[in-house]
Structure 1
């Protein structure tokens, strides 16, 4: 498949033999993907770092709590309107993949932020193809004759939305689902994942969104939003984003979104995870009555509710006080 396709799968085998069950599978995510601490603690998970430059300072986004705390402290809880992310290029991706996975794994899934907003997916696809040129020789030298698979997958979403398929994949691998069934189920989840964004500062969000090629926040909305404290709710789906509602103030916007999410949970999700990521102190999120209602809905439906610190990359792009919420479920036209 091409880099623009949902997934790119590459295979290398020392002797052309095939096996029915892959011995060990690894998961790669890029650092913009918001996932739980338990997911990150899995030894079979690796994070592609994303360097971020703000002024004269450089930070490395790789889900390190201390580095994230430093970034927030030095940049007003994540502000970086003029910051620049510096994703790894194809050559660096090749080195990262080769060093981390060639000898210890037979199957690797690399999930990235949507290709429509970032070059990471294309660089990972190119880097994986470059790495495969060396993998066969390295595995033969080490006496490993099992086939090797490397699949690069576009999550078609960002931040919390990229986290949903990543955590669903870990569940599938944990249940020892066969590779073909994993592929089909993972793409079904990706195609049904919705991310809702609530930027706290419209002017900031517009500046950063235009850097990503996103035109979902126009100038008039920024002017009116600043004067009236309007907070939009933006839906991300299939690599695209557009505003679906607007509300007076953060409390109203968050309340409507959390109630909306509770209803989606009650109606049934495709994977038992709902992720909320926030660019600020998590106590802000836990302190809302509607979050308590969402928590109860998740408990009743046996859905894991993950309230997380947003990645540095997410903070820089959405801005301080920004929030994202994501889940995978049936199509819906209604909005928060």
Structure 2
């Protein structure tokens, strides 16, 4: 059987131990801060320092995440992938949020053509096969899709079967919720990107009355669906909603993904998270908790909370 490498970009909030278990490899993003560049490789040990460096107390938005260009992706794959397996599937952040999918799709032909010599030197025959799949999600939603796709590939599913599962079933079932903590950061970032998710009026009102939006992303569309008195209240309502999904048997895949752009112990200490963890354990649902990727956190700010599940018809958010 041909070997298949599973690749995901650094915006995918899959916990490190799950990545190791499923043998998921990271494609980096590049972080630009003024004239300085660093690689976002989703190093969980480094993320707390990176939050402090690029997020905490900053409102100038001098840092941004930039996807690798076609040639850079080719070079990365040639150095790290093509000589070690016969095929690879790259699962990217939503194409509506990043140009990585377009760059990766453009890098397929060059990677395959340039891999021949390297594969021959490594004792491998035949052309390298590269499939690029748009998950249509970010952060914890992307993590759920990659986890399920990697599980399918490990069980022997073909790249075509995995791709069809993502594009016809999993992608439309991914529901992601975000609760920001720093409204000024979110407002300024949204304005820079030309988005209307938070207006000046909403920012001013939210700051005055400690109101935080609960933002949902589904099928590439992002909208504020509720208001909460503070980010902790917003996170509590999202966690309770996820617990309701478990109790109602609404999950397509028995896994929930949670992320936080800050200390994970702050999430573990939440009574609502502890309740969700107990219900998940009792119902045989895996609960994944991971640091929020720097690429996602740069768009929503420090201490932002995220959660995602896969469901065709979840209950309404209350």
Q: Answer whether TM exceeds 0.5 for this pair.
A: yes
Pick closer, same or farther for the CA change 1:142–1:308 going to 2, 3 Å. closer
Of 277, 286, 297, which residue of structure 1 is paired with 2:279? 297
Of 128, 134, 152, which residue of structure 2 is paired with 1:172? 152
Mapping 1:64-83, distance limit 5 Å: 64-75=43-54, 77=56, 79=58, 81-83=61-63
Quick one: distance in 2 between partners of 1:49 and 1:28?
10
User: Which range moved further: 244-253 or 324-333?
Assistant: 324-333
SS at match of 1:277: strand
Is 1:257 matched with 2:238? yes
In structure 1, the partner of 2:171 is 190
SS at match of 1:208: helix
Pick closer, same or farther for the CA change 1:213–1:223 going to 2, 3 Å. same
Contact kept in structure 1, 2:93 and 2:136, CA below 8 Å: yes
Contact kept in structure 2, 1:90 and 1:127, CA below 8 Å: yes
Quick one: distance in 2 between partners of 1:42 and 1:124?
25
Mapping 1:190-269, distance limit 5 Å: 190-266=171-247, 267-269=249-251
CA-to-aligned-CA distance 1:242-292 (integer Å, 9 cap, x gap) = 111111112321111111011112223222221111011112111111111
Quick one: distance in 2 between partners of 1:251 and 1:73?
20
Pick closer, same or farther for the CA change 1:134–1:190 going to 2, 3 Å. same
Quick one: distance in 2 between partners of 1:155 and 1:78?
32
* Structure 2, unpaired ranges of 5+: none
Quick one: distance in 1 between partners of 2:36 and 2:119?
40
Pick closer, same or farther for the CA change 1:262–1:152 going to 2, 3 Å. same
CA-to-aligned-CA distance 1:74-106 (integer Å, 9 cap, x gap) = 345485623122321111011111222222212
Quick one: distance in 2 between partners of 1:264 and 1:152?
31
SS at match of 1:23: coil
Quick one: distance in 2 between partners of 1:323 and 1:57?
27
In structure 2, the partner of 1:278 is 260
In the TM superposition, structure 1's runs of 4+ consecutive aligned residues that sit over 6 Å from their partners are none
What displacement does 1:331 show?
A: 2.5
Contact kept in structure 2, 1:255 and 1:290, CA below 8 Å: yes
Pick closer, same or farther for the CA change 1:95–1:75 going to 2, 3 Å. closer
Quick one: distance in 1 between partners of 2:253 and 2:98?
26
TM (norm. structure 2) is 0.91
User: Which range moved further: 260-269 or 88-97?
Assistant: 260-269
* Structure 1, unpaired ranges of 5+: 1-21
Contact kept in structure 1, 2:33 and 2:63, CA below 8 Å: yes
User: Which range moved further: 173-182 or 253-262?
Assistant: 173-182
Of 138, 161, 167, which residue of structure 2 is paired with 1:181? 161
In structure 2, the partner of 1:332 is 314
Let me know the Cα RMSD of the aligned residues. 2.2
